[in-house]
Amino acid sequence: MSDKERMVFDIDLERCSGCCACVVACLDQNDVDTELEKGFRDVSVIKPAYSVTNRLGYVSLACMHCDDAPCVMGCPTGCLSIDANGMVIYDASLCIGCHSCLMNCPYGAPRFDAEGKIHKCDGCAVRVECGLEPACVRTCPTKALKYDTETNIRQAKKDKTLKSLKAAQAD
């Protein structure tokens, strides 16, 4: 990876409504044939174990684009790599369909197309190169999904926490 600051995805669980717009945007952006393969992004329901409100929560997940990605290290052909933005990308022409990446990924993110070649979230690399947001982020109606530098995401989380602490003190 270059000296450029790492880009990351983030989700605000308080904002995610479980609408699955991110899933549909990802399917569309990547031309995924849902009859033959599974998409790269999933929305799961979080059922509260202990809650006064019994309100369900949702989480939108895809490839975690790990700093030290085990899928990249496990690929014997070099099909997977980490780009300048910190996204785990792939070159399907180098894939031999051995599934080593899937066996090494703790999140089960790599998928395989009808020919047995890897197909996974690449952080919408082409969109990002053109100055656009990833499709899932762009489409999220509640703005629960974010794509920004790791520093900006961390600062936004700190600011949100401070704001809620100040509000709680004022009560």
Q: Specify the pLDDT at position 51.
A: 67
pLDDT of residue 147: 97
pLDDT at 155: 96
| pTM to 2 decimal places | 0.86
| Cα–Cα distance for residue pair 166/171, rounded to 1 Å | 9
Yes or no: say if 153 and 10 are a contact pair by the CB < 8 Å rule. yes
Report the greatest alpha carbon distance in the chain. 60
The residue ranges of DSSP E strands in 83-144, in sequence order, are 88-90, 111-112, 118-119
Exposed/middle/buried for 153, CB within 10 Å: 0-12, 13-18, 19+? middle
Can you tell me the distance from the alpha carbon of 121 to that of 108, in angstroms, rounded to the nearest whole number? 12
**Hey, what domains does the chain have and what are their CATH numbers?**
9-62+121-171 (3.30.70.20), 65-119 (3.30.70.20)
Q: Rounded to whole angstroms, how far apart are CA atoms 157 and 10?
A: 10
Cα angle value 36/47/23 (rounded, 5°): 30
What 8-state DSSP symbol labels residue 126? H
Chain CA centroid to CA 120, Å: 10
Q: Tell me the average confidence (pLDDT) per consecutive run of 10 residues in the chain, 171 residues long.
A: 80 94 96 86 87 81 94 96 95 96 95 91 95 97 96 94 86 72
> What is the per-residue pLDDT for 29?
96
pLDDT of residue 114: 84
**Of 69, 64, 87, the residue nearest 6 (C-alpha):** 87
**Ramachandran angles phi, psi of 147, nearest 5°:** -140, 110
